[in-house]
Amino acid sequence: MMKLFKFAFLCVGLALLAGCAMAISISGIDHIDQIPGGMSRAEVGQRFGAPLAVNTTATGRNEEVFHIRRRMTRRPLGNVTGVEAMGGLMLVCLNPIFLGMCMQGEINAIETAIKSERNKLHVGFVYGPDDRALYYYELKADAAVRFEQAANNLVNPLLNAMESIRCVSTAECMQQFVEESRRRADEVGYSLDSEAERIFAVQLQLARDIDDRKITREDAVAQLARANLAGLSVVSCVADYVAAVRRRATELGYLPNAQDEEFIAEELRIARDADAGEISRELAHSRLLSESTRHLIKLYQNQDTVGPASRQLYDAARPLTDVLLKKIDENRCRQ
């Protein structure tokens, strides 16, 4: 009787652990973009727990770093809830014939939870003087991706302010935008190049032209919204993306193979076709989405044959791909 009691007690423990592991595997977020913007420091803490670190940025603002769990799509033991799994595991465990199934199901659940823990996002939240998050970014991402994440919520407020005539001086609003962009670049460790500074100069001149009534506010907003000021070709955008992926591959000890080079060549060919006017920007976006997705899937699949560096490059390349497609979608790569 005591042995049976101990066995049942063990099964209850396993069932509870399975529910916990399953809860871990299906909680969290799929992508950093799912984090709500503008949360207060207290709201961030309520949502993600205690910060891993509390820092001061390079420009003196408060920053908190959190480990945020990725949601794992795999759900062990079928499509069941934690409560259902607990009851089911108890019934299975209490039948010695199915003990192996019980243990295997638990191992799968724990394995999924461990993977979720290992794949946590390291996210920094930078706060303004009112203790609300100005922006957040992934610490382990490439520098260009970090800056994209930090600055992507600056443009819409600028355009809205210009459209609603909240800018008494358009040049003053634009100057604030440029200064905040530079500040965020410093805070996330991204070096703005001469091209970025040229763009800022063009934007400031455009703002002064609005104030001097050389161009209408509506025309200026339309130009900024189309973001054609960068002057980058689609090939330039794709080449920057390829260079960033190659850098990450080198850092991870991954040697690109012939199949990788074929994907890269096809991505550059699509970009050249877009710049030559042979295909539209929308079609280029669609084809690059398809090609880059196929490349990512192949990297993920190759981890069993090539090694863990293939999976690590998959994780590193995903946000770079998102940035590339977003630039093309928002017409920041001019044809």
With cut-offs at 50, 70 and 90, classify the pLDDT of residue 333.
low
Domain stops at, among 230, 262, 290: 230
Residues 94 and 162 in one domain: no
Q: pLDDT band for 20, please (50, 70, 90 cuts).
A: very low
Higher pLDDT, residue 19 or 276: 276
With a cut of 70, say whether residue 230 has pLDDT above it. Answer: no
- Please report whether residue 88 resides in a domain: yes
Q: Are 117 and 213 in a shared domain?
A: no
Q: What is the pTM of this model?
A: 0.56
Total of domains in the chain:
3
Judge whether 137 lies within some domain. no
How many residues in the chain? Answer: 335
Whether residue 173 sits in one domain with residue 95: no
Quick one: 106 and 150 in the same domain? no
Q: Judge if 115 and 211 occupy the same domain.
A: no
Asked if residue 133 is part of any domain, the answer here is: no
Does one domain contain both 279 and 194?
A: no
Q: Which residue, of 197, 230, 263, is where some domain finishes?
A: 230
Residues 157 and 117 in one domain: no
**246 and 201 inside one domain:** no
Is position 200 within any domain?
Answer: yes
Q: SS3 of 31, please?
A: coil
| CB burial string 242-271: b at 16+ within 10 A, e below | bebbeebbeeeebeeeeebeebbebbbebb
Q: What is the pLDDT of residues 253-273, one digit of tens each?
A: 898 888 899 998 899 889 888
| pLDDT score of 88 | 44
- The parent domain of residue 194 ranges over 142-230
Residue with the bigger pLDDT between 46 and 194: it is: 46
Answer yes or no: do 118 and 148 share one domain: no
Q: Residue 33: which pLDDT band, with cuts at 50, 70 and 90?
A: confident
Cα 102 to its chain centre, rounded Å, is: 36
Asked if residue 174 and residue 162 are part of one domain, the reply reads yes
> Could you read off the pLDDT of 138-167 as tens digits, one per residue?
998 888 878 888 987 887 677 666 666 667
Report the C-alpha gap between 144 and 184 in whole angstroms: 12
Q: Is the confidence at residue 328, as pLDDT, over 60?
A: yes
198 domain-assigned: yes
What average pLDDT does the structure give for the chain? 74
Among 178, 212, 230, the domain boundary falls at: 230
In a domain, 132, yes or no: no
In a domain, 335, yes or no: no
In a domain, 24, yes or no: yes
